[in-house]
Structure 1
Amino acid sequence: MLDIPGWVPFHRLAVVFALLVAIGALAFVDRPSRLTATLRRRFLFGVPWGTLVTIGGVLAVYLFLQDGRSSWYRPIVIPFRAWSYFYPLGMLSAPFSHSSAGHLIGNLIGTLTLAPVAEYALGHYPRRRGSTSFGSLRTNPYVRAFLLFPAGVFVVGLLTSVFALGPVIGFSGVVFAFGGFALVTRPVTTILALFSGRVVRLFYDAMLSPEVTATARPVFSTPWWAQIALQGHAIGLLFGVMLGIWVLRRRDGTQPTAMRSFAAVLLFAVQESMWAVYWFRGSETFVLFRAVGLALVIMLAILVALTVASSNRPIRANAPTGSVGSARRWQVGVAVLLLATSALTGPAIPANMFTAASDDLPGERVEVRDYEITYVEDVPNGLTAAFDIELFGESTTTNTSGVVVKSEQRGIWTTAVSKNRLAFDGRSVVRLGGVGWRDEAVAARDGYVVMGTGTSAYRVFLATENETVLAHKTGPVQAEPVVAGRNISVVPTDAGYDLQVSSDRGTVRGPMPTANVSTTLDNIRFVRHEQFIFAEYRGTRVRVAREETYN
Structure 2
Amino acid sequence: MVQLPPWIPSPAQVAIPVAVLLSLALVRRLDAPAGQWGRRLRSRFLLGVPWGTLVSVLGVLAVYLFVQGGAGNWRNPVTLPFSSWSYLYPTGWLLAPFSHTGPGHLVGNLTTTLAVAPLAEYFFGHFPSKRGENPFFSRTSNPWIRAFVVFPAGVALVGVATSVFAWGPIIGFSGVAFAFVGFALVRYPLMTVVAVTAQGAIRTAYRAVRDPIVVGSASRRFGDPWWFGIAVQGHALGLLLGILLGVVVLYRRRERVGALRLWTGAVLLGMSMTLWALWWYRGESTYVLYRGWGVVFVVALAVVTTVAATADRRPLFGDVSRQQVGLLALLLPLAIMVGVAVPVNLTTVGDASVPGGGPAIEVRGYDVTYAEGVQNQKVSAIDVSMFGETTNVTTSGVIVVNDDREIWAQSVSKGRLAFTGRASVRVGGVGWSEDVQVKRRGWSMDGGGTAYQVWLRGPDDGEWTHTFASGPATAGATLANRSIRIAPANGTFYLRLLNDNATSRLAQIPAHNETVRLGPVRIEREHRKLFAAVNGTRVQIATREKYR
Identify the TM-score tier after normalising by the shorter chain: over 0.9
What does residue 458 of structure 1 align with?
Answer: 452
Letter in 2 for 1:463: R
What do the CA deviations read for 1:102-136 (whole angstroms, capped 9, x no partner)?
Answer: 10001101111111111111111112345311112
Encode CA deviations 1:435-476: one digit per residue, 9 max, x unaligned.
1100010111001001211x2111100111233310001233
1:357 corresponds, among 332, 350, 355, to 350
Letter matched to residue 330 of structure 2: L
Residue 500 of structure 1 pairs with residue 496 of structure 2: yes
Give the whole-Å Cα distance in 1 for the aligned partners of 2:429 and 2:502: 59
Corresponding residue number in structure 2 for 1:201: 203
Match for residue 97 of structure 1?
99
Aligned counterpart, 1:429: 424
SS of the residue corresponding to residue 501 of structure 1 reads: strand
Deviation at 1:6, TM superposition (A): 6.3
Contact 1:514 1:527 in 2 (8 A): no
* 8 Å Cα contact 1:235-1:345 kept in structure 2: no
Moved more, 509-518 or 171-180: 509-518
Supply the distance in 1 between the matched residues of 2:346 and 2:254 (Cα, whole angstroms): 41
- Structure 2 residue aligned with 1:332: 325
Q: Distance in 1 between matches of 2:25 and 2:381?
A: 61
1:154 is displaced (CA, Å) by: 0.6
Identity between Structure 1 and Structure 2 (%): 42
> TM-score, normalised to structure 1's length?
0.95
Distance in 1 of aligned mates of 2:2 and 2:479: 66
Q: Secondary structure at the match of 1:177?
A: helix
AA of the residue aligned to 1:90: G
Deviation digits for residues 183-235 of structure 1, max 9, x if unmatched?
01221221121111111111011111212222111111111112210000001
Q: Which amino acid aligns with 1:166?
A: G
CA shift for structure 1 position 392: 2.2
Aligned to 1:416: 411
Contact 2:513 2:526 in 1 (8 A): no
**d(CA) in 2 for partners of 1:77, 1:517:** 46
Is 2:368 the counterpart of 1:373?
Answer: yes
TM-aligned CA distance change 1:115 to 1:102, over 3 Å: same
SS in 1 for 2:419: helix
Deviation larger for 522-531 or 161-170: 522-531
Structure 2 vs 1, CA of residues 433 and 262 (structure 1 numbering), >3 Å: closer, same or farther? Answer: same
What aligned pairs does 1:73-88 form with structure 2 within 5 A after superposition? 73-88=75-90
State whether residues 466 and 491 of structure 2, in contact with CA within 8 Å, keep that contact through their aligned partners in structure 1.
no
Instruction: Out of 63-72 and 223-232, give the one that drifted further.
Output: 223-232
Once residues 359 and 499 of structure 1 are traced to their aligned partners in structure 2, the CA distance between those partners, rounded to angstroms, is 37
2:251 alignment counterpart: 249
Q: Which residue of 1 aligns with 2:524?
A: 527
In the aligned structure 2, how far is the partner of 1:17 from the partner of 1:116? 23
Moved more, 476-485 or 197-206: 476-485
Partner of 1:18: 19
Counterpart contact for 2:453–2:491, Cα < 8 Å: no
Question: In structure 1, what is the equivalent of residue 265 of structure 2?
Answer: 264
Q: SS of the residue aligned with 2:274? A: coil
1:320 corresponds to: none
Once the two structures are superposed, residues 75-95 of structure 1 have per-residue CA deviations (whole angstroms, 9 ceiling, x without a partner) of 100000000001000000000
How much does 1:387 deviate? 3.7
Q: Distance in 1 between matches of 2:503 and 2:163?
A: 62
| Correspondences of 1:39-54 after superposition (within 5 Å) | 39-54=41-56
- 2:241 and 2:429 mapped to 1: Cα distance? 30
Moved more, 307-316 or 369-378: 307-316
Aligned equivalent of 1:304: 305
Cα distance, 1:17 vs. partner? 2.4
Q: Is the 8 A contact 1:27 1:33 kept in 2?
A: no
* Number of matched pairs: 539
1:262: how far off?
Answer: 0.4
Instruction: Output the CA distance in 2 between the equivalents of 1:282 and 1:195.
Output: 36
Task: Name the CA shift for 1:376/1:425 in 2 (closer, same or farther; >3 Å).
Answer: same
| 1:240 CA displacement | 0.5
Is the 8 Å Cα contact of residues 344 and 382 (structure 2) preserved in structure 1?
Answer: no
SS in 2 for 1:98: coil
Aligned partner of 1:383 in structure 2 is: 378
Q: Distance in 2 between matches of 1:495 and 1:462?
A: 12
Q: Which runs of 5+ in 2 are unaligned?
A: none
Aligned 1:150-189 pairs, distance under 5 A: 150-189=152-191
Matched position secondary structure for 2:282: strand
Return the letter of the residue paired with 2:177: V
> 1:218-229 maps to which residues of 2 (within 5 A)?
218-229=220-231
Q: Please list every run of 5 or more consecutive structure 1 residues that lacks an aligned counterpart in the other structure.
A: 317-324
What is the TM-score normalised by the length of structure 2?
0.96
**2:88–2:406: 8 Å Cα contact kept in structure 1?**
yes
Q: Which amino acid aligns with 1:507?
A: S
Letter in 2 for 1:101: P
Distance 2:103 2:338 in 1: 28
Structure 2 CA distance for aligned equivalents of residues 11 and 161 of structure 1: 41
C-alpha change, 1:27 and 1:450, in structure 2 (3 Å) is same
Q: How far apart, in 2, do the equivalents of 1:535 and 1:176 lie? A: 61
Alpha-carbon distance in structure 2 between the residues aligned to 1:438 and 1:328: 55
Select the residue among 460, 472, 489 that pairs with 1:476: 472
Answer with 14-23 or 88-97: which moved more: 14-23
Task: Report SS of the residue matched to 2:244.
Answer: helix
Q: Secondary structure of the residue that 2:504 maps to in structure 1?
A: strand
